[in-house]
Amino acid sequence: MDYPRIVVVGSMNVDLVVKSARLPTPGETVIGGDFHEVHGGKGANQAVALARLGANCSMIAKVGSDRFGDDALEELAGEGLDVDQVTRAAHLKTGVAIIAIDERGENQISVASGANAALLPEDIDRAAGLLRHADMLVVQLEVPLATVKHALEMARAAGVRTLLDPAPVPAGGVDDAILSLVDYLKPNETEAEQLTGIKVLDEVTACRAAAELRRRGARHVVITLGGQGAVCDDGQLVRLVPGEEVATVDTTAAGDAFSAGLAVALARGQALDRAVAYANLVGALTVTRLGAHTSLPTAAEVLAFAEARGLKL
C-alpha cells in the first residue's frame, strides 16, 4: 500500500457532546440527554481520519497547557500521527466544542477556539521542512486565516498540492487571493452558498457554485450535498458522484471524514471523480457512528463497507 505524506494545519479541540431526542430552540432546555467527552477539532479529525486511511500524517497545531491538551496529544500520538509540530500555548486553554445532537444525527456546535487562535504564521515557518516534503497539505478555517494563507503559499511555492475545507466560513468570506492557492476546494452546500451567494439546493445549483469558485481561482471544486453525494468540477468534467444511503447516527465528523478520504485518494493518484467516490464511502460509514474521532473508519473498514455494497474501490 502507498502511504502518502500528508500534513494537516488546523485545529485541535475537545468535544463535549450531548445527544438527546431533539435540538433545543433558543432559550429552551431539553432534558434527558447522554453525555460524551471525545476529541475533535476539524484539523485533528482530518488528521486522525487520514492516519486511519493509511496516510503518513503530520499535524501542525496548537493546544493549551491543560489536561485537555495533554489528552489530545496523547490520543493523536496513539493514532500514529507525527505531533512534533503541535506546540503548547502557556496561558491559553485547549479549544473546546459544545455539541448537541438529536436522534436524527443533526447537530448544533459552538466552539471556544482557545489555543487554536494562537496558531500563527511563524509556527508554519518552524515546520517548513516538513511541509515542503509533503505530498499534500490539508487545511481548514478553525485557525487564523493569515496562518492558513501562509501555509498555502509555502505549499504552492514548494509544488505541494493543497486541499482547503473552508469551514467555518469567516464572516468576511474568503478572498480570491486564498482561493487561488487552492488545488482542491471542498465546501458543503451551506459553505458554498456563503462563499458565492448562490443558494445550493441540488446538483444544478451546486454546479453553478462550483463554476463560480473555479472562476475565483480554485483549481478543482468538490461540493458535498449530504446523502445526495458530491458535485466535482475539474474544469473539464462537471458531474454528481452519488452518495451512499445509510442510517444516520451522528453527522459531526462527516465532512472531515470526507475531506480525509478525498485527500488520501488524490495523494495516491486517483482521478478526481474516483477520489470523490471513495470519500463518499468514508463519509457514509462515519455517520453511522457516534462522535468525532470515535466515528472515523480505517481503510480496512471502508474496503469491507464497499465490498458489502458490491462496490469496487
Asked if 164 contacts 185 with a C-beta cutoff of 8 angstroms, the reply is yes
Active-site position among 34, 125, 256, 273: 256
Residue 185 and residue 172: Cα distance in Å, rounded? 18
Q: Where are the alpha helices (DSSP H) in the chain?
A: 42-52, 67-78, 121-126, 128-132, 145-158, 176-179, 189-196, 203-215, 254-267, 272-286, 299-308
Residue 240, classed as helix, strand or coil, is strand
Residue 64 and residue 263: Cα distance in Å, rounded? 28
* Burial (CB count <10 Å: 0-12, 13-18, 19+), residue 239: middle
Residue 309, classed as helix, strand or coil, is coil
Strand ordering across the sheet containing 34-40: 34-40, 13-19, 95-101, 107-112
Residue 297 and residue 254: Cα distance in Å, rounded? 11
**Catalytic site includes residue 256:** yes
DSSP string, 119-180: --HHHHHHTHHHHHT-SEEEE-SSS-HHHHHHHHHHHHHHT-EEEE---SPPTT---HHHHT
What residues are labeled active site?
Answer: 256
